[in-house]
């Protein structure tokens, strides 16, 4: 696998992981008992911390990409092993 291909796949894993990780730990104004500002969505987070999201996303995506790459090298699961005709 070329390093550019590996980088592109890692970036895809990172973006996918960001959407998976983002909702965890989110607290809304309603949850915190705070006041909603006019024009604010009720689902908007009270204390948005992008640094934590970036760190968590990087950890999750690195683990997922590590499993993907280990499967690529070792051939644990290949397209030939998946029979969808049944």
Domain membership flag for residue 51 = yes
User: Which residue blocks in the chain are alpha helix, DSSP H?
Assistant: 3-21, 29-32, 50-74
Domain membership flag for residue 68 = yes
Q: What percent of the chain has pLDDT over 70?
A: 99
Note the pLDDT of residue 72. Answer: 95
31 lies in which domain range?
3-81
Bridge partners (DSSP) listed for residue 45 = 28
Residues in the chain, pLDDT under 50: none
Q: What percent of the chain has pLDDT over 90?
A: 60
**In sequence order, which residues have a C-beta less than 8 Å from that of residue 18 and are 6 or more positions away?**
53, 57, 61
Domain membership flag for residue 86 = no
Domain membership flag for residue 30 = yes
Number of domains in the chain: 1
Per-residue pLDDT reduced to its tens digit, 33-53 = 888 889 989 888 988 899 999
pTM of the model: 0.81
């Amino acid at each position: 696998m070329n390093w550019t291909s590996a980088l592109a796949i890692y970036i895809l894993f990172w973006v996918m992981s960001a959407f998976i990780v983002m909702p965890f730990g989110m607290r809304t104004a309603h949850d915190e008992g705070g006041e909603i500002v006019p024009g604010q969505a009720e689902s908007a987070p009270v204390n948005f911390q992008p640094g934590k999201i970036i760190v968590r996303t990087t950890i999750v995506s690195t683990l997922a990409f590590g499993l993907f790459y280990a499967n690529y090298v070792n051939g644990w699961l290949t397209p030939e092993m998946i029979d969808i005709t049944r």
